[in-house]
Amino acid sequence: MIRIDLHMHTTFSGDSRIRPKFLVDQLYTHPFVKGVAVTDHDTLDGYVQARRFAMAYEDILIIPGIEVSTRQGHVTILGIQEKPAYLLPIEALIDFARERDGVIVIPHPYRRFDGVGNIAENIQADAIEIINPHTTTEENKMAETLAKARNLPSVAGSDAHEPREMWLAYTEVEAELNVDDVLSAIKKGKVKATSSKL
């Protein structure tokens, strides 16, 4: 079992102060979180930088990801290395992800302003983010209820934009420390959402 923060932003998001090298250094020295999905807003550049810095270390995992802005709200895709077009409709984004074997996660579905809201009930997702430290307890509970109702795996991520926010939530994954095994485990529901704030 490994612990992975599945929602992390770097300076490439524009609204984050976490530099990719700092992220990798902190991941390497963390006592138990050993993987991170770099999910910058509408870019893979932060992932590319973090992966390059991570080559200097053993036993850490950098997962490619992107938090995509759609017309209806944000959707995260893990495991792809190609950026989708900006502001695609969700249906087109899902097709884009499926064609590339991406793992579709609905982050903070009920958060005001950037969640997809009730549309989440119909998105063909692989997992639902049920713990996000920047989302209210009620909104996280609604996400958990949705995951159970749809029988979808529940994941967590810190959604960190500042260094002090890193690792506040993470996902326990029954997998080896490699990208393909982790993505497969997420799809199979071999995951547990966890908050370090609890």
Share of the chain above pLDDT 70, in %: 99
User: What mean pLDDT is reported for the chain?
Assistant: 97
Sheet containing strand 33-38, strands side by side: 154-156, 127-131, 103-106, 73-78, 61-70, 33-38, 2-8, 169-173, 191-195
CA dist 157 and 90 (Å) reads 22
DSSP 118: G
- Give the helix/strand (H/E) hosting 31: none
Is the predicted pLDDT of residue 5 greater than 60, yes or no?
yes
The Cα 70–Cα 85 span in angstroms is: 9
pLDDT of 198:
47
Q: Convert the pLDDT of each residue in 153-172 to its tens digit.
A: 999 999 999 999 999 999 99
Instruction: Give tens-digit pLDDT for 26-50.
Output: 999 999 999 999 999 999 999 999 9
Q: With both helix axes pointing from N to C terminus, report the angle between 45-54 and 20-29 in degrees, rounded to the nearest 10.
A: 50
Q: What is the structure's pLDDT at 145?
A: 98
pLDDT at 197: 67
pTM of the model: 0.96
